[in-house]
């Protein structure tokens, strides 16, 4: 059982930098319980399509993505941007004191 308000689904973002932008290869992956073959993707609140088989989506358009899976519900949203100028950090865990390379793209 999940605590009240907790999501049983999660949307994993695979991208080399954060925030996720279209210039980078961005893949979204469904993680969680439910029926994998009954996954429906949403982009900006509108149905984006049904995926059969692997629960992965290669993002080609900017927007806010979620997915719904029978038996577990709607995932938390993930936003993929398409801005002209963006300051990014590596998509890895950082601790205080770590050296980090920032990337400015535009």
CA 35 to chain CA centroid, Å, is: 19
Give residue-wise pLDDT tens across range 22-56.
777 788 888 776 666 677 889 999 987 655 545 78
Residue range 73-91, pLDDT digits in tens? 788 898 888 877 778 887 8
Look at strands 73-74 and 63-69 and give their pairing.
antiparallel
Q: Which domains does the chain have, with CATH numbers?
A: 10-105 (2.60.40.10)
Q: What b/e sequence results for 9-39 when a residue is b if at least 16 CB atoms lie within 10 Å of its CB, and e otherwise?
A: bebebebebebbbbebebebebebebebeeb
Instruction: Output the pTM of the full model.
Output: 0.69
Measure the CA–CA gap between 17 and 82, rounded to whole angstroms: 13
């Amino acid at each position: 059982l999940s605590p009240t308000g907790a999501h049983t689904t999660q949307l994993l973002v695979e991208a080399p930098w954060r925030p996720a932008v279209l210039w980078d290869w961005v893949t979204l992956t469904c993680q969680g319980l439910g029926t994998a073959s009954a996954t429906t993707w949403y982009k900006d609140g509108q149905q984006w399509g049904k995926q059969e088989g692997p629960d992965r989506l290669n993002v080609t358009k900017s927007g806010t993505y979620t997915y719904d899976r029978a038996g577990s519900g709607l995932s938390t949203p993930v936003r993929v941007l398409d801005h002209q100028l963006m300051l990014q950090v590596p998509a890895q865990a950082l601790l205080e004191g770590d050296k980090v390379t920032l990337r400015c793209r535009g």
